[in-house]
Chains A and B, each alone.
Chain A
């Protein structure tokens, strides 16, 4: 198995190659990289791959001042939860 086919985001099955190519092509922020590839947008909420998705764009950003400013956002619910528990009723 090569580096290229190594899975980084398990939930959305996004490979290392896909992330590197996207970051290189678009010279984008971590947030844009996430939105373009869906890495970190699966059911675990990015708990496993978040740091990796955040670290990749650092090398490709032309303007280093952007570093540290644009980070991936957190939003609730921060743990997986049943729709029913979120406020649905039993019927």
Chain B
């Protein structure tokens, strides 16, 4: 069966694009491997700087209802295993069937990087996002008392959510340094990334940030004056001078060994002590989940500010492959509101390309809207996101300067 548009990913980007396309009379199908629509929105629950609450489940419901009312077809619990271009059509292979469309939007979002420490394979150790889904989506306590390894915007937000669910969090702390985790195990690097986000972020980070600000802005000083017992955020100590050296337990998590570390993440000898916990959350941050765009043959660039390898795209959410679009966290790690705005752009791009550029004005306006939302967004996962976006635009211009033919057919 042939559709006008296939969208992979039912998160804020995918659903916003679907609504836009459907409202312009296009036949749209959205596929997601999870059994509920909403993507990473589902787990989100936090206080906005103005004091109102952002409830991801409600936001997901709104988008879902709008999509259904606009005539969008949703296929949930369906993993896409491959995509392939044939003539002017994209073939989308799921585990059940193959779908075809002239326009394909890949809005697969982000995945979590683990922060491995010895013992991380024990039952009871989970990514911080898994703890979030258990708590906020499935309403199951991940445990009675846990510890979070990895201090970043995502893990700080989820620490608050666990606290709201009455789950005890011993502390947030760093992992022991190894060859894979310098970005998030070395206190200097962690403080640096937290200081940059502080002035824009919602309450969790504002609190960490403003507390650090008291100790002068320069990160070396901030760290020097960072108290050994940590700074508390809703009674959860944020430890930037301690690291978990191992997670122990016979058949499951029974506790962690924690030690003091210097500014460079090196363990201070004989400072180890044990803390009993029954679950451990690990967080090495988020990276764009771009496997489908890679299989399709889209060129990739490593842009640290965007969170990893990102498929080449422009502000219209087009890739160099004809009929292939991207939107949301696959294009760089940002908040749900930016993702939704990008989804609207992708939807308008598809409509505009199909209807002989009749929606050029609306598209330009939607692109402006993305920039505005990005500037106003309280959640900045990377302090230099704007630079990352500029780099991508530069790569796009260079790519088309070097490749005379416009789009890859």
Contacts and interface: CB of A to CB of B under 8 A. Distances in A.
Contacts of B111: 47
A7 B295 contact: no
A1 B114 CA distance: 18
A71 B95 contact: no
Contacts of A56: 179-180
Interface string A1-22: 1110111101000001000100
A77 interface: yes
Contact of B120 (A6, A74, A76): A6
Interface stretch (B136-144, B194-202, B211-219, B286-294): B286-294
Given A1-B119, A8-B116, A56-B180, A68 B302 contact: yes
Given A52-B116, A56-B180, A1 B246 contact: yes
A77 B81 contact: yes
Contacts of A66: none
B387 interface: no
A3 B302 CA distance: 28
Contacts of A81: 79, 81, 95
A73 B179 CA distance: 22
Contacts of B82: 76-78
Interface in B66-116: 79-82, 93, 95-96, 111, 113-114, 116
Contacts of B180: 51-52, 55-56
B118 A1 contact: yes
B226 interface: no
B309 interface: yes
Interface string B42-82: 00000000000000000000000000000000000001111
Contacts of A59: 179
Contact of A6 (B81, B117, B302): B117
B386 interface: no
B260 to A, nearest CB: 18
B278 interface: no
Interface in B293-331: 294-295, 300, 302, 308-309
B33 A79 contact: yes
B90 to A, nearest CB: 14
B196 to A, nearest CB: 22
Interface in A39-91: 47-48, 51-52, 55-56, 59, 68, 71, 73-79, 81-82, 85
A56 B180 CA distance: 6
Contacts of A7: 120-121
B292 to A, nearest CB: 7
Contacts of B287: 51
A47 B111 CA distance: 9
Contact of A55 (B81, B179, B246): B179
A76 B118 contact: no
Nearest to A79: B79
**Which 10 interchain pairs have the tightest Cβ spacing?**
A76-B82, A77-B81, A79-B79, A1-B118, A74-B294, A74-B291, A6-B118, A55-B180, A68-B302, A78-B291
Interface of A: 1-3, 5-8, 10, 16, 20, 47-48, 51-52, 55-56, 59, 68, 71, 73-79, 81-82, 85
27 contacts: A1-B248, A3-B118, A3-B178, A5-B118, A6-B116, A6-B118, A6-B119, A7-B120, A8-B116, A10-B121, A16-B178, A20-B179, A48-B114, A51-B180, A51-B308, A52-B116, A55-B179, A56-B180, A59-B179, A71-B309, A77-B81, A78-B80, A78-B81, A79-B33, A79-B95, A81-B81, A85-B96
